[in-house]
Amino acid sequence: MYAVIKTGGKQYQVAVGETHDFEKIEGNRGDLVDFDQVLLVRDEDNVRVGIPIVEGAKVTGKIVEQKKGPKITVFKMKRRKGFRKKTGHRQQLTRLRITEIAG
C-alpha cells in the first residue's frame, strides 16, 4: 500500500515503514504528524485518485529528526562588470517515518 501526499509545495510517494526527508515541519522528535492532502491511495486491490484530494484519507508519520540538508553554492556574476557574489544555502529538513496510511 502506498500514497501520494502533498506538503511543502512538493509531492511525495510514501509507504508504511519508509523514511523521507520533507521541508521543515514544526515539531520535536517523536511527535506525530498528520497529512490531510492525500492525492492518491493505492492498496493491493484498488486505486483511489482524488480530485484534487482523496476524501477521508490521512497519512500519519513520526518525526525521527530535524536536520539541515546539503550545502548549495549560489554564484552570481555579470561579465565585464567585475560583479561577483557567492552565497550558500542549507535547507531545513525534517526526517519522518511513515507509520500509517488510512483511507
The 10s digit of each residue's pLDDT in 66-92 is 999 999 999 999 999 999 999 999 999
What pLDDT is stored for residue 103 in this prediction? Answer: 76
* Residue-level pLDDT at 94: 97
Q: Which of 95, 92, 73 is nearest to 84 (CA)?
A: 73
Q: Which residues of the chain have pLDDT under 70?
A: none
Whole-model pTM: value is 0.83
What order of strands is seen across the sheet that includes strand 10-15?
10-15, 2-7, 38-42, 47-49
